[in-house]
Amino acid sequence: MSISSFKRGYSRLLLFLVLVVACLAMARFQLWRAETRGERFEREQAALVSTPIALSPQQRQRADLVDRAATARGHWLADRTLFLDNKINRSRPGYHVLTPLQLAGSEAVVLVNRGWIPAPRLRSDVPSIRTTAGEIEVSGVTRGFETRIFELQETQPEGAIWQHLREADYRRLSGLDALPVILLQTGPDSDGLTRDWGSPDNPGTKHYGYAAMWLVFALIAAAYGFLAWQKK
């Protein structure tokens, strides 16, 4: 075997080794995603059947509030309603409707995701929402504000239709004293909104499938690398 042939064979082997390592790294990443999403799913499911907490102005520790069944008593600030864009329900585009609920006897509010509504035919139109007047009690489960957002360029919310809902943006632009969580409403109401908060299936399961796929790719790359080396 010539030196040039040996170098080409060594280069091919190195390439296959890199592919194997890359595939194994992707498999490990998918296993991590399965674990983290599975744990979050279990917390969310447990929240649905746990004894609800009553939200109050004194509760400001996010870690103690997030992913909990909760109730809140107060009145809607209907004129401060926001529409979170690009929300799909059964293949139809629409918005999530978020209205602050001013807690009884306080200036503090909790932002409530009241559900989904289809987008009007004209994107320039803002949907009309029926909102109950007077003091009410809202039940639901708490979630955090958006934290991981991929944007090519950071956008600033304008008007009633927002692309993203960051806690800092909401506090700054609304001027409201908001609790550090969002309440996903689950109780019935006469507003006609769709409250469907995701599949009952564990989202971590699909990541185990992805991990298995990457392991198969790693085995294929290793087998081709071994055969190529043996042939040389």
Q: Poorest-confidence range of 78-82, 139-143, 166-170, 197-201?
A: 197-201
Mean pLDDT within 111-129:
86
**Could you say which DSSP state residue 215 is in?**
H
Count of Cβ atoms closer than 10 Å to residue 52 Cβ: 16
Give the integer Cα–Cα distance in Å for 77 and 170: 15
Q: What is the pLDDT of residue 7?
A: 59
Give the integer Cα–Cα distance in Å for 18 and 28: 15
- The whole-model pTM stands at 0.68
For residue range 37-54, list pLDDT tens digits in order: 777 777 666 666 667 899
**Could you say which DSSP state residue 158 is in?**
B
Residues 6+ apart with CB under 8 A from 121: none
Give the integer Cα–Cα distance in Å for 61 and 80: 24
Q: How confident is the model at residue 36 (pLDDT cuts 50, 70, 90)?
A: confident
For residue range 134-151, list pLDDT tens digits in order: 999 999 989 888 875 545
